[in-house]
Amino acid sequence: MLILGIESSCDETAASVVKDCRTILSSVVSTQIEEHKKYGGVVPEIASRRHCENILGVVRQALDEADVSLYDLDGIAVTYAPGLIGALLVGVSFAKALAMSAGKPLIPVHHIAGHIATNYLTFPDLEPPYLCLVASGGHSHIIEVLSYTEFRVAGRTHDDAAGECFDKCARAMGFPYPGGVHIDNAAKTGDRNAFRLPHPAVAGSEFDFSFSGLKTNVINLLHNAEQKGTEINRNDLAASLQGTIADILTDKTIKAAEALSYKKVTLAGGVSANTGVRAALSEACAKKGFEFYMPEKKLCGDNGAMIACQGSYNFIAGITADESLNAIATLSMEEI
Ligand code: ATP
Ligand code: MG
Ligand code: FE
């Protein structure tokens, strides 16, 4: 089975051909980071325009590198939700036209389900059910993966996502966009205990997150230091912030796994590239005797392979779409 996956939900135009659900034949990612950097974040209209310019070349390259023709494919999978609407529309329109003209099934994929699927690409034997912590630029969810295509949200953020917290604190610290990776690098030589940062309590579900208080705390700390003319060691602050985010994510995930009786835990999403988060969750799982899986680093950020992989499982489950498929900016995993 050969599935082409197309991703355009944010600032990466990506396409990939995946064979038999888990073997990556090609994976092409064209990132717009350099362009959005100037503005300190993603500018939606620029993102849409770049997707429009790049998508044909990216898809063509993915087919070429896989040595596969459009007519060899069993289906065309595309991210249709959630994300920037103008960005999603480019991928959805393109995939629809391609599927209709080649007479191939069109397969809708939820972007977060795609992130979760990255572990199938890294671990050939991983099977549901398990519990997944998805931490990315726009989401922080603890998800019960009931089957390849059924999900239940056990915990979610009430405000900012973990990636947003990394990026906004990084910006206040003077790092370029996206700041997550710069915090990660700075943290390597910093003292994790230099700053005592808050673990915010969240009213409601015991597995929910809140990161806006932590973000405000870091921004205030920098602001106050600037007013007083005192120096803040950026590496120490980065290490303290990263350690705190890693502890919050890990605590809740372990609590949820115990309460919901999961002994298999996975990590996914852009923030799964973070050294501190990877170490904290894998150590905590080892202590509890849980099986733990996390994607190889190159699959943590947005890519087409995760969409092709999840698209393959959707296709097997009979999840396809017709020409009425539309892009959706906000869509809970439970509504798919
Ligand atoms: P979503 O998946 O929620 O729609 P997105 O697709 O924009 O959002 P991803 O590409 O999945 O987000 O992840 C990007 C996020 O991951 C950014 O916030 C980025 O800073 C963060 N990130 C990437 N690498 C690291 C790292 N090493 N440490 C911390 N954060 C990181
Ligand atoms: Mg991105
Ligand atoms: Fe993403």
Atom of ligand 1 nearest to the CA of 170: 20
Query: pLDDT tens digits, residue range 233-292?
Result: 999 999 999 999 999 999 999 999 999 999 999 999 999 999 999 999 999 999 999 999
Q: What percent of the chain has pLDDT over 70?
A: 100
Place 200 in a pLDDT band, splitting at 50, 70 and 90.
Answer: confident
Residue 136 marked in a binding site = yes
Task: Provide long-range contacts, Cβ within 8 A and 24+ apart, for 281-286.
Answer: 281/133, 281/246, 281/249, 281/250, 281/253, 284/250, 284/253, 284/254, 285/254
β 291-293/264-268 pair status: parallel
Query: pLDDT tens digits, residue range 77-107?
Result: 999 999 999 999 999 999 999 999 999 999 9
Site to substitute for ligand 1 among 43, 115, 271, most atoms within 8 A of C-beta: 271
Bridge partners, 155 (sequence order): 142
Site to substitute for ligand 1 among 10, 85, 134, 185, most atoms within 8 A of C-beta: 10
Q: Is the dihedral of CA 94, 97, 103, 106 positive or negative?
A: positive
| pLDDT at site 91 | 98
Give 18 Cα–ligand 1 centroid separation in angstroms.
23
| pLDDT at site 60 | 98
CB 279 within 8 A of CB 246: yes
Residue 134 marked in a binding site = yes
Atom of ligand 1 nearest to the CA of 42: 7
**Nearest one of 22, 237, 285 to 130, comparing CA atoms:** 285
C-beta of 2 in contact with ligand 1 (< 6 A): no
| pLDDT at site 215 | 97
Q: Tell me what the mean pLDDT of segment 112-125 comes to.
A: 98
Atom of ligand 1 nearest to the CA of 178: 20
| pLDDT at site 79 | 98
Site to substitute for ligand 1 among 166, 188, 275, 306, most atoms within 8 A of C-beta: 166
**pLDDT over threshold 80, residue 61:** yes
| pLDDT at site 208 | 96
C-beta of 166 in contact with ligand 1 (< 6 A): yes
Residue 64 marked in a binding site = no
C-beta of 111 in contact with ligand 1 (< 6 A): yes
Bridge partners, 264 (sequence order): 291
| pLDDT at site 202 | 87
Bridge partners, 130 (sequence order): 145
| pLDDT at site 205 | 78
Bridge partners, 17 (sequence order): 4, 26
**Nearest one of 319, 329, 331, 330 to 108, comparing CA atoms:** 319
| pLDDT at site 201 | 79
pTM (predicted TM-score): 0.97
Higher-pLDDT residue of 190, 204:
190
| pLDDT at site 328 | 98
User: Whose alpha carbon is nearest atom 2 of ligand 1?
Assistant: 136
Buried-exposed string 113-150: b where 16+ CB fall within 10 A, e elsewhere: bbbbbbbbbbbeebebebbbbbbbbbbbbbbbbeebbe
User: Whose alpha carbon is nearest atom 30 of ligand 1?
Assistant: 180
Atom of ligand 1 nearest to the CA of 162: 18
CB 76 within 8 A of CB 105: yes
Query: pLDDT tens digits, residue range 148-186?
Result: 999 999 999 999 999 999 999 999 999 999 999 999 999
**pLDDT over threshold 80, residue 204:** no
Place 3 in a pLDDT band, splitting at 50, 70 and 90.
Answer: very high
Residue 167 marked in a binding site = yes
**pLDDT over threshold 80, residue 57:** yes
Place 334 in a pLDDT band, splitting at 50, 70 and 90.
Answer: confident
Task: For the chain, give the mean pLDDT.
Answer: 97
